[in-house]
Amino acid sequence: MDYISSASSDEFLVADFASGEYDRVPTFFVDILPRMLSNRPNRTIVYCTDIHALRLDSLMGKLEESGMLDNVRVVRAKLEEMDTNATLRPDMLAYLDERPSRMTALDHHLRLKEFYPAKTFDVGVLNNDIVGYLHEYYTEYSDAQKGLEKVYSVLKSGAILVVTMPCSLYVVDNIQVIESLGFMFVEGIDIKLSDGSIRHLERSADPRIMSRLGHYTFLIFVRE
């Protein structure tokens, strides 16, 4: 909240990497968080990126129903290649065509050049065990290391990376993996949902204690 409140740019850009068809991240940044902040950026726009076109189209349907499309974009890209190939979904382009005044500089860039430029986003989110998920599919269709390197490169210097529910399915040492890319671990929080009690996680925390049943865990990093 401190980081977002102190943002200087008019347009605050959030990247939801490997979003699937889930609207939790855009709903949080576009709808919930602004109501919690007294000092907020003029506009927050969330770019949901996934390799799976049908999931993105389903996400777009949900966003349309909830009236959030003005501030959310669905972009098809493989994380490993998003700095050379990232395309707004056709329905998204049609939506923006009808509302040119709502287009951001990044929308114009994506439409013309079809890739994410380096150092673009203020916040990145890997929601719901994405690091583990990428490693599980490593040999099949994802190169986790390369994909995460690209996550690093499209975030601005000083941007925040939020990693939620690490190790909920696959135990991978998220802190070690993400720090090795050049991020700095800032804090980890584990919330016990039954009573809301909070446990702070150290940098050396055992990955096996993260995201246990009945808990919500997240980690925050800063891009150098």
- Which residues are near ligand SAM by CB under 6 A? 18-20, 22, 24, 50-52, 55, 78-80, 127-128, 130, 133-134, 137, 142, 147
Angle subtended by helix axes 105-113 and 90-97, to nearest 10 = 130
Give the whole-angstrom CA distance, residue 17 versus residue 14: 9
Q: How far is CA 141 from the centre of its chain?
A: 20
Give the whole-angstrom CA distance, residue 171 versus residue 135: 10
- With contact defined as beta carbons under 8 Å apart, do 75 and 110 qualify? yes
Nearer to ligand SAM, 4 or 51 (CB): 51
- With contact defined as beta carbons under 8 Å apart, do 121 and 156 qualify? yes
Q: Is the dihedral of CA 55, 172, 164, 153 positive or negative?
A: negative
Least distance (Å) between residue 97 CB and ligand SAM: 26
Q: Which has the closest alpha carbon to 224: 189, 178, 188?
A: 178
3-state secondary structure of 1: coil
Nearer to ligand SAM, 120 or 142 (CB): 142
- For 162, the token pair is 């939020």
Nearer to ligand SAM, 13 or 74 (CB): 74
Nearer to ligand SAM, 19 or 120 (CB): 19
Least distance (Å) between residue 220 CB and ligand SAM: 17
- For 103, the token pair is 């287009």
Least distance (Å) between residue 20 CB and ligand SAM: 3
Least distance (Å) between residue 92 CB and ligand SAM: 17
Q: Which has the closest alpha carbon to 128: 36, 65, 210?
A: 210
Nearer to ligand SAM, 19 or 174 (CB): 19
Least distance (Å) between residue 44 CB and ligand SAM: 18
Closest residue to ligand SAM, judged by C-beta, is 20
Give the whole-angstrom CA distance, residue 85 versus residue 179: 26
Nearer to ligand SAM, 6 or 144 (CB): 144
